[in-house]
Structures are given as C-alpha cells and as structure tokens.
Amino acid sequence: MTGNLRTFVLMAALTALVMGMGYVIGGQGGAVFALIFAGAGNLWAWWNSDKAVLRQQGAMLVTRQDAPELVDMVAALAQRANLPMPKVYVLATDQPNAFATGRNPENAAVAVTQGIMRVLNRDELAGVIAHELAHIKHRDTLTMTVTATMAGAIAMLGNMLMFSSMFGGRDDQRGGGLAGLLAMIFAPLAAGLVQMAISRTREYEADRIGAEICGQPMALAGALAKISRAAGQVVNIPAERNPASASMFIINPLHALRMDRLFATHPATEDRIARLQAMSGGSYSASRVPSAGGRDSGPWGSQ
C-alpha cells in the first residue's frame, strides 16, 4: 500500500470514529452532527493552524537581512523543489529541531531552532530544510492539521459521552452501557493511534523526497542522528506546553522519547536512517548544497 493510499485509509478510519462517537451519543442525528462539527473544526484549522502553532512555539520571522545564509539556503532548496519561497522562522530554543506549517505551498513556513543551526553543518541543515519542504510540497502540513483536529474532536466527544452517561442522557438502545463505556475509553485512544500512524507514514515519505531535493540522503541521515541524540538532552519548553504539535517536528521534541514505539509520533530514527542509507548506498556525496553566497558553512559553522 502506497503512503498516500495508507494516509487516505487512516483518515477514513478517523472519520468513521467521529461518526461512531456521534452515533453513540445521539443516534443518526448525532453522527451527522459529529461529522459537521469535525468539518467546521477542520475549516478553522485550515485557515488558522499555521499562525497558532508558530505563536505557540514563540517563532520569530527572519528575513535575508536578519539571516542571509539561512534564508538563501531555503530559497535555493525551494527553487530546486519547484516551490514558492516559504517564510522562514527561528525558534529560540537550544533543542535542535525543525518543522513546517501552512495550509498550502503558497502560504507555508519553515521553522528551525537556534540549536539546530549550532549542531548541524551546512549539508545536514540543508537536508533538514529539504525534508520540511517535502512536507510542504505534498501538503502534509494540511493533512496533519486535519488529523489533529479530528482526533481532538473524538476526544471531546468522548468527554461528552462520559458526562451524558453520568447524567443518564444516553439511549441504551444504541448499544448498551458497556458499548458506551468502550467507546468512551477506546475511541480517543484509537484516534490517537491513527494520528500517530499517519504522522509516521508522512515522515518516511518526507525523508525520501527531502533526500531527493537536497541530493544528499546521507546528509539528512547524519542530521537525524545528531538531532535524535540531542533532542532527549534538551527540553523544548514551548513544545512541552503544547504536546499536540509534536508530530510536526522532524524529531519528537518531547522529553519522554523512550515511550513504547506503538505510541510514538515518529518512526524510529534508526529505521529512517536505514532507508536513507539504502537510497545512497551508504556513501556521503561530495557535492555541495546550493548557496547564494557560495560558502561551505553558514552562521552555524561547519562540523
């Protein structure tokens, strides 16, 4: 099953969960209401999610005047990916990480942390930016926004079902008390697992396309290894305060990185690196990343 088909199937499962929870609460009318509610939430998220997540993470917009080599690198890679130039943001955290957001390529943004510019060399940083541009190119930022909104709607419907059961408002003819209890407990859990599965699927594909954009799979592999090692040692306070945004980052930014892999928002870093190694045969290309300045190292320094 291809990545796009798998994502479609998983999103269909989320839609079914939304409607199922609505049915348990209010019958056929409840199912329709739940679907309309989730659709309205997705519409709001489509217009506002990028601004919300950038604000939550304390992102600072930078221009070529502020960070010429970083902005030039993003511009060169965006041109190579045949994408409009996204806005560039910097996050004031020492944890090396990055994410992309935006409802479409014309309204996209790439955000990198101060820590990632210190830890990675030019080629590795370019690999990370190319990965984020791959998310933009395939509109993964919109997909993840929709899935996060639907998962949130299912969690809220679970809370509604709990209160409905407490006050005797649920119709037992729609499956009985046990069915309602199981839906209340397991539907939000299942929604979270589906959301994580979609995120993991999208990360593998973004690694592949990002490696093609930057032309150096092993540079991206090296970046993933460095970020993964450092992410667990540095607390990203904005991300910890807003854990729902974790799936947007290239590596899980939350400090509890050793959770069971079933509940991980990202594939295992070793698996991602192995796939990138297979793309390149394990060798590091000597070709350089395009740079308007023609230099091999940026303000983050060479490693």
Binding-site residues for Zn(2+), in ranges, read 131, 135, 203
8 A C-beta contact, residue 70 and residue 62: yes
> In which residue are the tokens 């590795």 written?
124
- Spell out the residues 6+ positions from residue 26 whose beta carbon is closer than 8 angstroms to its own: 33
> In which residue are the tokens 């090396």 written?
96
* Residue 177: burial class (beta carbons within 10 Å; 0-12, 13-18, 19+): exposed
**Euclidean distance between CA atoms 227 and 272, whole angstroms:** 13
**Euclidean distance between CA atoms 41 and 105, whole angstroms:** 21
Backbone phi, psi, residue 110, to 5°:
-115, 130
**Euclidean distance between CA atoms 107 and 86, whole angstroms:** 7
Distances (CA, A) of 227 to 112, 121, 125, 183, 253: 12, 12, 11, 38, 10
234, 238, 244, 250: CA torsion to nearest 10? -50
Query: Where are any strands of DSSP class E within the chain?
Result: 59-62, 87-91, 98-102, 108-113
Active site annotation includes 132: yes
Q: Which residues are annotated as a binding site?
A: 131, 135, 203
> In which residue are the tokens 């969960």 written?
17
> In which residue are the tokens 């030019």 written?
122
- Write down the catalytic residue from 106, 132, 212, 270: 132
Q: How many CB atoms lie within 10 A of CB 165?
A: 17
Task: Specify the amino acid at residue 186.
Answer: F
Which residues are part of the catalytic machinery? 132
